[in-house]
Structure 1
């Protein structure tokens, strides 16, 4: 159930099994996720983005750690708090920003917004505004993989609030019965909206529920990428080898509120600050510096590259064409008329 990090000469053992370039790329992606969301939040506050959004600031290690070993033939299903998952699976921030801004060049041509980004070409089957909505989709994808005799896997992200939905139990049950290559990843950020996990869930750890479906269950520190990466490696290898599903619980925390309308009256400033001191980006950066995989100058250059990418993404989104009013149902209903889709990246 619990997890103890395996170390060699004081270094996480998993770091020896992953190319150094991949570790550096993981740090850059974590920084990119953070700056993407901070920039999206600022655009929202300036009135450039409408609707709402759910930020995952503080949860970057679980998103990137669980996706960095996947390839384009593997799949993910995501949540309403899924920007990190999308970037982890290779999404282009320019097209993500465009989707936020409701532009034609967005991943869903401006129809989906923050909560519904998908990119099937990269195996991203989509974020989902329904709590637990991605669980049965992941099982369906896993069944398809097995029927086709492929060695792909599905990583299914969901929050602690979803572990009490019927879809959670049904999905884990079917995945176990059919021995499907699905890795269920609960990002336990302590709250489902304003309801604490202690008040909503009878078991101490969500991973304990794996026992009911005869699959491995493990809880890890979701703010330590090395811990997440280690259990991801084991679960993905098991699924590819025909060993079936795994339930992973990443204990983490969202520094921001549930959504833009959250006034944060259900948790204390001290609690937020204590989790802020466990920042996953700061911790992983320190690990890489101490292990000699990167130096301070390289980190500074990396952050500068991210800032350039964010600036270019915002400019791309603001300059992109808006959908035409008479084509609002295009790509929403099957059989809707096609359009020229001007300016959309191919």
Structure 2
């Protein structure tokens, strides 16, 4: 792996962390009124996966999607404006954190309904194959989504049709407040992909180079017509399921468990690795932090100074049903 790729992976993870931390701090101001699911602690997965993608590749996600959106090239100003409910938001200020979209960079959308975008991503992969388009679909989801029927239906169809899709499971061990061991039998989630006849792999989702390598192999297979892959990356969210706070006091997980995962911080462990290789100079880090902080400040200023959608936008982009009066 080249030095430029390594530094780009580090920069992407750091950027995602600093953006999410800034959102967490400002969320207390009560101006972002949408439910917000932060990915602090899970940055290695979107950074490592998206580093293998082209602008024409397509990405689909769920409720914890900020990292997926930004790593694919989504517009930070538009994302923050969406969190503030402003007209300049990526969904016109009407969707909030859980409904991000940026067609220009191939981020096809996120949705909070569990597993709902998995089948949509498979449909996009099928369309790409039918139209002989050289593109790959990436579908992100958590461990909880694998308990939905549509997950199995989508994997079965993708395998039968040998579609160019990569299923990326961010296994953070919890579905809201329920641990994996009380919801599923003791077996790898990746084994569900094997059962559906597709390539499958799993491992440390906090090791960005490992994620980069496995995702690269999966994307390459998809691109040459060898069909789908499921990747299970074990990782961990540091904050509460929904919101900017620490939730250890709720009792569903222990402080010892959280602390053990924080010691595996994907950014700090990679920083140490790069420093040991002599690839991360202090002057580079200082300039990088300054650049990201300036980007964040500018994006928040843009978002907070943008107008709210007009009242006339309330009935736009919807499909009227029986009895609807515009």
* Number of the residue aligned with 1:292: 278
1:103 to 86, 97, 102: 86
- Aligned mates of 2:101, 2:140 — CA distance in 1: 14
2:196 to 204, 213, 217: 213
- Aligned mates of 2:258, 2:111 — CA distance in 1: 26
Kindly indicate whether residue 239 of structure 2 is the aligned counterpart of residue 256 of structure 1.
yes
1:43 to 12, 23, 26: 26
Deviation per residue, 1:167-218 (Å, 9 max, x gap): 1100100000000001000000010001111111114210111121111111
Q: Which moved more, 1:134-143 or 1:257-266?
A: 257-266
* Number of the residue aligned with 2:265: 279
- Aligned mates of 2:89, 2:97 — CA distance in 1: 10
- Aligned mates of 2:38, 2:187 — CA distance in 1: 25
- Aligned mates of 1:170, 1:20 — CA distance in 2: 41
After superposition, the Cα gap between the structure-2 partners of 1:118 and 1:313, relative to the gap in structure 1 and judged at 3 Å, is same
- Aligned residue runs from structure 1 range 53-202, under 5 A: 53-202=36-185
- Aligned mates of 2:283, 2:315 — CA distance in 1: 49
Shift of 1:289: 2.4
Structure 1 unaligned blocks of 5 or more: 1-14, 335-346
Q: Which moved more, 1:244-253 or 1:282-291?
A: 282-291
Please tell me whether the aligned partners of residues 176 and 245 of structure 1 are also in contact (alpha carbons under 8 angstroms).
yes
- Aligned mates of 1:187, 1:320 — CA distance in 2: 34
Please tell me whether the aligned partners of residues 82 and 94 of structure 2 are also in contact (alpha carbons under 8 angstroms).
yes
Count of equivalent residues: 317
* Number of the residue aligned with 2:324: none
SS in 2 for 1:250: strand
Please tell me whether the aligned partners of residues 75 and 102 of structure 2 are also in contact (alpha carbons under 8 angstroms).
no
- Aligned residue runs from structure 1 range 238-257, under 5 A: 238-257=221-240
- Aligned mates of 1:264, 1:134 — CA distance in 2: 30
SS in 1 for 2:201: strand
Deviation per residue, 1:19-58 (Å, 9 max, x gap): 4333322222211111111111222111121131111100
- Aligned mates of 1:106, 1:217 — CA distance in 2: 37
- Aligned mates of 1:191, 1:33 — CA distance in 2: 21
Shift of 1:78: 0.7
- Aligned mates of 1:299, 1:333 — CA distance in 2: 49
SS in 1 for 2:36: coil
Shift of 1:66: 0.8
Shift of 1:95: 1.1
Shift of 1:303: 1.0
Aligned CA-pair RMSD: 1.4
TM-score (norm 1): 0.89
Please tell me whether the aligned partners of residues 34 and 83 of structure 2 are also in contact (alpha carbons under 8 angstroms).
no
Please tell me whether the aligned partners of residues 49 and 215 of structure 2 are also in contact (alpha carbons under 8 angstroms).
yes
Deviation per residue, 1:278-334 (Å, 9 max, x gap): 000111222222233332220121111111111111100011111011222223448
TM-score (norm 2): 0.94
SS in 2 for 1:115: coil
Shift of 1:134: 1.3
Structure 2 unaligned blocks of 5 or more: 321-326
- Aligned mates of 1:264, 1:30 — CA distance in 2: 28
* Number of the residue aligned with 2:297: 311
